[in-house]
Amino acid sequence: MKAAGAATAAATIGAGAETAVAQDLPIPALVNRMSVREKAAQMIQPVIGSLDPTTESSHDNVETVGDIVGEIGAGSVLSGGAMPPTTDPEALVAGINELQEYAIENSPHGIPFFYGIDGTHGAAYVDGATALPQRHNMGATRDPDLIERAEEHTAAMIAATGIHETYAPTIELQRDPRWGRYFEGISESTKVLGDISRARNRALEGHDRVTATPKHFAGYEIPTNGNDRSAVNTSMRDLRETLLPPFEVTLAEGAGMVMVNSGSVNGVPAHVSQWLLTDLLRGEYGFEGVILTDWNDLYRLIGIHDLFPDTRAGKKMAVRAAIAAGVDMAMLGGGNEGRPLDPREFVTYVDELVESGDLTEQRIDASVRRILELKQDLGLFDDPYADESLVTDLVGNDESVATSTEIARESLVLLKNEPVTEGGDPVLPLAGDEDLLVTGPGVDPETGIENRILMQYGGWTLGWQGIEAGSLSEGGPRPAGDSMIAALRDHHDGAITHVPTDFDRTEWWQGEWHPEEGAPNHSSENGDYGFTDDQRSAVESAAPEADAVVVVIGEGPHNEGFGDRDSLELPETQREIIATVEAATDDETPIVAVEYAGSPRGNQESFGPLDAVLYAGQPATGGGTAIAETLLGAYNPSGRLGFSWPQQVGHGPLHHNAWPGNGHDPTYPYGHGLSYTTFEYANLSVSPATVDDPARETVTLGVDVTNTGDMAGEHVVEVYNTTAYGTVMHRDTRVVGYERVSLDPGETTRAEVEIDLAALEVVAGDVPGLGPKHVEATDYVLTVDPESDLSTTLTVTEPGSVLEGITPPDGSDTGPGQGRGPPRGRGNGRARGRRSSLIDRLAGRDP
Ligand code: BGC
Ligand code: BGC
């Protein structure tokens, strides 16, 4: 360990003759001693590619990494793409500590930096670490408590590897599967997204030396043409009803930072939106933390949004506009031959803008104060160094692997399970002693390395576009966990013949990278898939001998614009593999597909020959085990789709909580998910059945659930509002609560589900969507199964605002029933003037 506490840290900080002793000064006094350039330097977060101060920097006009943290004195640094300079956990924490020491000794005031990274599904950026199932898997569990527990380990890992900031939770609705970051969304339900994001944030913020960074604020996830970072056209009503509330509930508990949406919303880039960043985020949500840009996004105002000219003056205007709108810190990605802003440019522009009076020094001071306060909260002034002794025992430890595996189990969605002969049993679970043929991607055609784990873990895993950028090397870094085939070999008693087919995910960058528009047009299958003659013959000879065949289907890891897709069809070779298996087997041989994908790939037609389909998503560390156990019946599947599975890409965006009149039926609706047993509901009731003050009352729905089959199983009881007549349209279906129950065969339990009245809020008034957001006074039909007649009615007699009208979390009155515990973590919206009212601002009146 580098330094064992405050005493050593104090001896190190400010070692330089002229430097202030940062941690000895109250923050305002420290700010007073800083020049405008020094303050501006606190406001940058440049990427570094090495922890060695003597290495060349990846930024124009800056020679070395040491110059970034030393001479320039950057407030923060980052590693992008879940790829730190070293993936060795011990070396990472030691290297960050050494760089920190260099920074403290060589920067103007000896102020420590903080370090940011994408720990978006666990600390899946170091070798051997536990990777959590991807975000869309998390949504399928409807189990925020379990996810919170898992993220506590993530937080401990982040701190133990020397990192301070993770770019999570990702607060994105799953609306459009064409979008390359669809897998990072938790759910298409506002309620489920809000609950799980809040739980993740609470766990991350719960660690003293870690800050969460909820992102991307706001409206990022619905690019109108489906392409990452392309323009978003939305309505004030949709923003306020569905896109903003998950941020609002998450931020109500406090976060140290927020990352801004790279895109534009209704013609305004989020990075220059005063309304989003200042009126809403600070004013309404009371956010007092640090507002961070996304990767090179100040330059994006020029290169993509064409808001300013690509000149020196244009860049300066971009800096001014973003800071004026509310940005505190600029993430600087470097590279691209001088196009983005480099660290020195940013500092110079801020200096000039203050000099010319285009920005006030007080405005700069406000940002710097927030940044320094965050460092203080993170304990960096007390002890700038991470404890190096913790990481070894934490990396991939048994407990974290077990929790991740539990999430993986709960997240697998059984889409289809049919008998091979009429009246017979569905093909799953397998008996456990049959001779199995397992085929489907992947093996790397170049190297022969089995690379299916790329599909299992997805993007942001030891690499931006997947492990080792999709090109696995022998002995390269790997997250913790087993592959599906290894787990099957462990759990299955019969013989297994494995014929992996070609899968190449190394070419994701192919095509011309456009410096301004970003991702090129590329295969929208997220991988190149092959089925060689040898592989075909191997399948043809093994299939007739097999008692059952498991075919892996799906898509490779992907990320951002490289994941954008124009089609949701299964790749052609995968359909060929299915057809080959079908032709080589008799009708009695079960054909089971396991699908690894970050989007709803395939439809009734491509699934036609399959007797069963298990949608595994990207289940990560525990995925192999969870799949093997599920196929073999050691685990009874309980995941429920967090999104609607469209029949074809042209039917999207398709979501259960759309306004009525959508017209398309999904292949599998939101909430779909089969079990090996059956559950029946009875005696549905709601209490109280009448509510006079929706902002204050607690409502519970009760329902008897019986396991009517012959296998024990878990089941998520999800409560929907299906009908409500009001002054404006109410969404087709809204999730208002859910509860996971576990039942033995024949057992009955009474599920008590707390109803979140905030989920019923609508924005009143005409098209502009500026009316009050509230629960209307009307009758709400509640059900646990939209297909059944079982329903009950909740009557609200007086309108009331639950979310937008909420009192600050540290105020005396948080209102019962919203599950808001006492605020934890920092910056938790000492939310002044929350009631000062969004509505007034929306209507352009002074509050
Ligand atoms: C992504 C962010 C991410 C950042 C750093 C950006 O391109 O949009 O979500 O946190 O890179 O890797
Ligand atoms: C980084 C990503 C970033 C991307 C943007 C990559 O090199 O690792 O985090 O989002 O560049 O272009």
Residue 3 lies in a domain: no
> Is residue 23 in a domain?
yes
Specify whether the CB–CB gap between 395 and 89 falls below 8 A: yes
Above 60 in pLDDT, residue 520? no
Q: What confidence category does residue 27 fall into, taking pLDDT thresholds of 50, 70 and 90? A: very high
What pLDDT is recorded for position 409?
A: 98
How far, in Å, from the CA of 295 to the mean position of ligand 1?
6
* Distance of CA 333 from the midpoint of ligand 2 (Å): 7
Q: pLDDT at residue 92 above 50?
A: yes
> What tokens were used for 515?
């410096």
Q: What is the pLDDT of residue 516?
A: 53
Using alpha carbons only, what angle is made at residue 662 by residues 660 and 665, rounded to the nearest 5 degrees?
115
Does residue 529 sit in helix, strand or coil? strand
Query: How far apart, in Å, are the Cα atoms of 397 and each of 6, 150, 557?
Result: 29, 12, 25
| CA nearest ligand 1 atom 10, residue | 167
**Domain membership flag for residue 729:** yes
Least confident interval from 74-83, 308-317, 335-344, 744-753: 335-344
Q: What is the DSSP string of 544-582?
A: GG-SEEEEEEE-----GGGG--S--SPPHHHHHHHHHHH
Residue 123 lies in a domain: yes
Centroid of ligand 2 to alpha carbon of 764 (angstroms)? 41
User: Burial, 749: exposed, middle or buried (Cβ in 10 Å; 0-12, 13-18, 19+)?
Assistant: middle
Whose structure tokens read 């462990």? 490
Residue 540 lies in a domain: yes
The CB of 464 under 6 Å from ligand 2? The reply is: yes
CA of 147 to the centre of ligand 2 (A): 27
Is the CB of 481 within 6 Å of ligand 2?
Answer: no
How far, in Å, CA of 295 to CA of 318, rounded?
A: 14
Q: Is 295 in the pocket of ligand 2 (CB under 6 A)?
A: yes
Q: Whose CA is nearest to atom 6 of ligand 1?
A: 295
Of all ligands present, the nearest one to the C-alpha of 304 is 2
To test the ligand 1 pocket, which listed residue (294, 298, 461) has its Cβ within 8 A of the most ligand atoms? Answer: 294
Q: Counting ligands in written order, which one lies closest to the CA of residue 259? A: 1
Relative orientation angle of helices 144-160 and 190-205, to the nearest 10 degrees: 40
The yes-or-no verdict on residue 37 having pLDDT over 60 is yes
Q: Give the ligand 1 atom nearest the CA of 213.
A: 10
Indicate the residue among 781, 796, 811 that finishes a domain.
Answer: 796
Residues 384 and 421 reside in one and the same domain: no
Is 340's C-beta closer than 6 angstroms to any atom of ligand 2? Answer: no
Q: Among 232, 267, 307, 305, which residue's Cα sits nearest to residue 517?
A: 305
Record the tokens describing residue 449, joined without a space.
């390395």
- The answer on 303 and 419 residing in a single domain is no
CATH number of the domain that 623 lies in?
Answer: 3.40.50.1700
pLDDT of residue 522: 60
Ligand 2 center from residue 560 Cα (angstroms)? 9
Please tell me if the CB atom of residue 303 comes closer than 6 angstroms to any atom of ligand 2: no
pLDDT at position 335, please?
Answer: 74
**116 C-beta closer than 6 A to ligand 2:** no
Kindly tell me if the per-residue pLDDT of 19 is higher than 80. no
Determine the distance separating the centroid of ligand 1 and the alpha carbon of 218, expressed in angstroms. 14
Of ligand 1's atoms, which has the minimum distance to the CA of residue 216? 9
Which pLDDT does position 808 carry in this prediction? Answer: 36
Taking the centre of ligand 2 as the mean of its atom positions, its distance from the CA of residue 48, in whole angstroms, is 12
Residue with the smallest CA separation from ligand 1 atom 7 is: 295
CA of 15 to the centre of ligand 1 (A): 35
Q: If you average pLDDT over residues 635-653, what whole number do you get? A: 96
Tokens of 122: 């666990």
Question: Residue 831 to residues 121, 253, 541, 822: CA-CA distances in angstroms?
Answer: 29, 10, 68, 14
Residue 736 belongs to domain with CATH number: 2.60.40.10
Domain boundary residue, one of 344, 362, 393? 393
Q: How far apart are the C-alpha atoms of 367 and 208, rounded to whole Å?
A: 22
Separation CA 100–CA 220 (nearest Å): 34
Contact at 8 Å (CB) between 757 and 764?
no
Q: Is the pLDDT of residue 844 over 70?
A: no
Closest to 408 measured CA to CA, from 672, 128, 138, 148: 138
Q: Which ligand is nearest to the CA of 166?
A: 1
For the stretch 722-776, pLDDT in tens is: 999 999 999 999 999 999 999 999 999 999 999 999 999 999 999 999 999 999 9
Q: Which two structure tokens, joined as six digits, stand for 843?
A: 């209507």
Q: Which atom of ligand 2 is nearest to the CA of 560?
A: 10
Please, which residues have CB within 8 angstroms of residue 695's CB and are 6 or more apart in sequence? 757, 800, 801, 802, 805, 806, 815
**372 and 483 fall within a common domain:** no
**Cα–Cα dist 143/134, whole Å:** 14
Pocket test for ligand 1, best of 77, 158, 167 (most atoms within 8 A of CB): 167
Å from CA of 516 to ligand 2 middle: 14
300 and 172 in a single domain? The answer is yes
| 42 and 158 belong to one structural domain | yes
| Ligand 1 centroid to residue 261 C-alpha, Å | 10
Q: What percent of the chain has pLDDT over 90?
A: 87
Which ligand has the shortest distance to the CA of 340? 2
Q: Cβ(508) to ligand 2 under 6 A?
A: no
- Which residue's C-alpha comes closest to atom 8 of ligand 1? 294
pLDDT digits (tens, 9 = 90+) for 490-517: 999 999 999 999 999 987 766 555 545 5
Q: Which of 47, 118, 461 to mutate to test the pocket of ligand 1 (most atoms within 8 A of CB)?
A: 118
Nearest to 257 by CA among 213, 209, 300, 306: 213
Residue 701 CA to ligand 2 center (angstroms) comes to 46
Looking at the structure, do residues 320 and 349 belong to the same domain, yes or no? yes
Closest residue CA from atom 5 of ligand 2: 295
Q: The pTM is what? A: 0.93
452-476 pLDDT, tens digit each = 999 999 999 999 999 999 999 999 9
CA quadruple 571, 573, 574, 579: dihedral, nearest 10: 130
285 lines ligand 2 (CB under 6 A): no
**Ligand 1 centroid from CA 84, angstroms:** 13
Q: Do residue 376 and residue 480 come from a single domain?
A: no
pLDDT band at 338 (very low <50, low <70, confident <90, very high): low
Task: Report CA(615)–ligand 2 centroid distance (Å).
Answer: 29
Report how far residue 492's alpha carbon sits from residue 489's, in angstroms, rounded to the nearest whole number. Answer: 6
Q: Which atom of ligand 2 lies closest to the CA of 464?
A: 8
**Alpha carbons 236 and 137: distance in angstroms, whole number:** 29
User: Per the structure, how many domains does the chain have?
Assistant: 3
**Crossing angle of the two packed helices 398-411 and 144-160, in degrees rounded to 10:** 140
* Terminal C-alpha separation, the chain: 52
Q: Is the same domain home to 378 and 462?
A: no
| Confidence band for 595, pLDDT divided at 50, 70 and 90 | very high
Buried b (16+ CB within 10 A) or exposed e, 208-241: ebbbbbbbbbbbbbbbeebbbbbbbebebbbbbb
What pLDDT does 8 receive?
A: 33
Domain boundary among the residues 776, 796, 816 is at: 796
Report pLDDT for 847: 30
Token pair belonging to 167: 């770019």
Q: Are residues 524 and 436 in the same domain?
A: yes
Q: Which of 464, 468, 562, 564 to mutate to test the pocket of ligand 2 (most atoms within 8 A of CB)?
A: 464
Would 824 be classed as within a structural domain? no
pLDDT tens string 93-145 = 999 999 999 999 999 999 999 999 999 999 999 999 999 999 999 999 999 99
Q: How far is the CA of 844 from the centre of ligand 1 (A)?
A: 33
Average pLDDT value over all residues in the chain: 91
- The ligand with the least distance to the CA atom of 464 is 2
**CA 80 to ligand 1: nearest atom:** 12
Task: Give residues (CB < 6 A) around ligand 1.
Answer: 80-81, 118, 167, 215, 262, 294-295, 560
Ligand 2 pocket: which of 117, 295, 339, 461 to mutate (most atoms <8 Å of CB)? 295
The Cα-based distances of 334 to 78, 299, 344, 460 in angstroms read 11, 11, 12, 19
Give residue 82 CA to ligand 2 midpoint distance, Å: 9
Q: Which CATH number does the domain housing residue 79 bear?
A: 3.20.20.300
Number of H helices and E strands in the chain, helices first, is 24, 27
Tens-digit pLDDT profile for residues 711-721: 999 999 999 99
Ligand 2 atom with the shortest distance to the CA of 518: 12
Q: How far is the CA of 71 from the centre of ligand 1 (A)?
A: 26
For ligand 2, atom 8, the nearest C-alpha belongs to 81
Tokens of 739: 């509860």
Domain that holds residue 494: 412-597+606-635
Asked if residue 671 has its Cβ within 6 Å of ligand 2, the reply is no
Atom of ligand 2 nearest to the CA of 559: 10
Residue partners of 536: CB distance under 8 A and separation at least 6: 580
Ligand showing the shortest atom-to-Cα distance for residue 336 = 2
Whether the CB-CB separation of 234 and 266 falls below 8 Å is answered with yes
In a domain, 648, yes or no: no
Residue 553 shares a structural domain with residue 688: no
Q: Is the dihedral of CA 808, 810, 811, 812 positive or negative?
A: positive
Instruction: List C-alpha distances in Å: 228 to 225, 518, 547, 559.
Output: 9, 10, 44, 9
Return the ligand number nearest the Cα of 220.
1
The pLDDT assigned to 750 comes to 98
Q: Is 534 exposed, middle or buried (0-12, 13-18, 19+ CB in 10 A)?
A: exposed
Q: Whose C-alpha lies nearest to ligand 1, atom 12?
A: 80
Tell me, in angstroms, the distance from the centre of ligand 2 to residue 605's CA.
37
Q: Taking each helix axis as running N to C, give the angle between helix 343-355 and helix 312-325, from 0 to 180 degrees, rounded to the nearest 10.
A: 70
pLDDT over 70, % of the chain: 90
Q: How would residue 334 be classed by pLDDT, with cut points 50, 70 and 90?
A: confident
The enclosing H or E element of 485 equals: helix 484-491
Residue 672 included in any domain: no
Distance 58 CA to ligand 2 centre (A): 13
**Shared-domain flag, residues 328 and 212:** yes
Atom of ligand 1 nearest to the CA of 262: 8
| Ligand 1 center to 463 CA (angstroms) | 12
CA of 167, closest atom in ligand 1: 10
Give the pLDDT confidence score for residue 845 in this predicted structure.
37
116 lies in the same domain as 170: yes
